[in-house]
Amino acid sequence: GPKARILLLDNHDDFGGHAKRNEFNEAGVMRLGIGGSVNVDNPSGYSEISKGLLDDLGVDLDAMRSNMQAPEFLSTDGDTMLAMAGPDGLVKVRGKWTQLMLGIGDYESAVRTLPLPLSEQSLLIELIAGDRDYLQDLSLAQKSTYVESTSYADFLTEEVGLAPATISIFYPFPKLMFGPAVSRMSILEAFYLGSPGIRSMSWLGDLAAQLLDSAASGYESLYFPDGNATVARLLVHKLIPGVAPSIQGFDDIAISRFDYDALDLKNSPVRLRLNSTVVGVRETADETVSIDYVRDGDAVRVTSDHCVLACYNAAIPYLCPELPESQKEALNYGVKVPLVWTNVLIANGQAFSKLGVVYVDCPDDAYVVVTVPPLTTTGGNQPPAGPQEPMVVSMMGVPSIDPIDGESSRVMLRRARHQVYATTFETYEKEVRDQLQGLLGEYGFNHETDIKAITVNRWAHGYSYEYMQLEDPKWEAGQAPHEIGRAQFGRISIANSDSEARAYLDAAIDAGWRAVAEQVA
């Protein structure tokens, strides 16, 4: 209601959490990069709550669709590139790889150019062609069970016969979903992400392919120039208009300047306090909630009628120790997927233009995907108009660790998290320079002079954990860890994508609505 007073406490130096904006300025030109939460994923499937919030913020989805206009110098007619280490250096093969991997187009010629032994190429071509039923000795019921209970890695090595070193070419995009636990994804999960082999299982494969094609036909992915940081900025502007009183909103949000001094004004009904790390939350005897936090080294306490904890699930048991032990255990179940999102400002786009694509899979490198930020004019953004202008290159990385026998995916993700924290910036910088030089060097790129800035967004606690077929039970409704963990505790509610076990924008919005509804009911 109009008399509500709301205090938002954020431990970061900027708002938005994983919706992180990287802003560069070169020669008077602003360029944006995505530092975390990437896209508006399949908005047609959003709940009425999530759709309603986007509408309330003025987000025009039709405009976002029409604003995706790639500059001519970067237009590639849908081609991507697969870049692999060969005996004489990097081998780069351009083509419509998403389609080729599914047996569409001249996949045989493309595979024959990859730096793989001839025998591996032949096995790969046979897999993509789909002419062989690798599970011909299994009944239909057994096949159905097999694709849900067997890892894609085991299928490729044991049934297809590919070498473990070869199957990494299928992993760049799935790694961005599962992180280093990609080796534990099931066959069906791999097929859902577009990996090849679905047509190699006789008519069961044909049926599954039809179902997946049907699910994919209505799918779309929409982008702001700085990822979902735009949504965070629109939210803050809606709650605290004084941060940018002259902006229109959706039409100029990307280029707007925020006055951070206006975030925490004394008389504002909504206040956003940055650099404030919450360390304790307890219900008090007088039916309020006591919240302790640390700011600039000082311990501070505030009280409130209600509290919503919108943070990493596994931190909540430490913040709120009075929770039931069963709820603490549930909150600790999921382990976020560690990721590294790096953006590199380069002096101009000439080398990238000569490369001929805007998306490169690099299965052998630290950054498994190299691409460019969304080429969109949404929010007033102006992407580079020509190759002579400065541009941003986005590099998406996943910590690489060797799995240990008997180790769960969640333990593996924890080990990978520590690797992210332990890696120095000097190492990240060297990886960036070496990889870009290998990719662009033959087109005149010189990392020593052409790289103008690097931002490394370390998401040791990255995407929310989503249950995996080979790792997690099929719980009854209401009994999954994320459902038990998000239970209301008096005047304290929990809202985050962890509480939905889905690492998506609409999951976070729906969770926020649920938590507030619990408190005002």
Percent of the chain with pLDDT over 70: 97
Q: What is the pLDDT of residue 212?
A: 56
Q: What is the pLDDT of residue 236?
A: 97
Instruction: Indicate the range of 130-144, 261-275, 326-340 predicted with least confidence.
Output: 130-144
C-alpha pair distances (Å), 134 with each of 101, 128, 137, 197 = 17, 12, 8, 9
Q: What is the pLDDT of residue 103?
A: 86
Q: Name which of 457, 454, 418 is nearest 434 in CA terms.
A: 454
Q: What is the pLDDT of residue 217?
A: 60
Give just the sign of the alpha carbon dihedral 8, 10, 16, 19: negative
pLDDT of residue 371 exceeding 60? yes
Q: What is the pLDDT of residue 202?
A: 65
Which is more confidently placed, 27 or 157?
157
pLDDT of residue 76 exceeding 80? no
Q: What is the pLDDT of residue 40?
A: 95
Q: Looking at the whole model, is its pTM more than 0.85?
A: yes
Cα 352 from Cα 490, distance rounded (Å): 55
Average pLDDT (420-441) is: 97
Q: Angle between the 202-217 and 140-149 helix axes, to the nearest 10 degrees?
A: 50
pLDDT digits (tens, 9 = 90+) for 198-236: 877 765 556 555 655 555 566 799 999 999 999 999 999
Average pLDDT (85-98) is: 92
CB under 8 Å, gap of 24 or more: what pairs does 397-400 form?
Answer: 397/339, 397/340, 397/341, 397/342, 397/366, 397/367, 397/368, 397/431, 398/175, 398/176, 398/179, 398/180, 398/182, 398/338, 398/339, 398/340, 398/368, 399/179, 399/180, 399/338, 399/340, 399/423, 400/180, 400/366
Average pLDDT (451-468) is: 96
- Yes or no: say if 67 and 376 are a contact pair by the CB < 8 Å rule: yes
Question: Using CA atoms in the order 368, 372, 378, 384, what is the torsion angle rounded to 10 degrees?
Answer: 170
Q: What is the pLDDT of residue 510?
A: 98
Q: What is the pLDDT of residue 219?
A: 79
Q: What is the DSSP code (8-state) at residue 378?
A: G
pLDDT of residue 67 exceeding 70? yes
β-bridge mates for residue 369, sequence order: 361, 396
Average pLDDT (31-54) is: 95
- On the CB side of 170, CA atoms within 13 Å amount to 29
Q: What is the pLDDT of residue 400?
A: 87
Q: What is the pLDDT of residue 98?
A: 87
Q: Name which of 157, 163, 193, 161 is nearest 177 in CA terms.
A: 193
Average pLDDT (169-173) is: 94
Average pLDDT (142-160) is: 93
Q: What is the pLDDT of residue 80?
A: 93
β-bridge mates for residue 222, sequence order: 40
β-bridge mates for residue 34, sequence order: 21
Confidence of residue 74 (pLDDT cuts 50, 70, 90): confident
SS3 195: coil
Provide the 10 A C-beta neighbour count for residue 273. Answer: 16
pLDDT of residue 140 exceeding 90? no
pLDDT digits (tens, 9 = 90+) for 237-263: 999 999 999 999 999 999 999 999 999
SS3 298: strand
- Yes or no: say if 363 and 169 are a contact pair by the CB < 8 Å rule: yes
**Mean pLDDT computed over every residue of the chain:** 93
pLDDT of residue 28 exceeding 60? yes
pLDDT digits (tens, 9 = 90+) for 181-208: 999 999 999 988 889 988 777 655 565 5
Q: What is the pLDDT of residue 197?
A: 87
Q: What is the pLDDT of residue 60?
A: 97
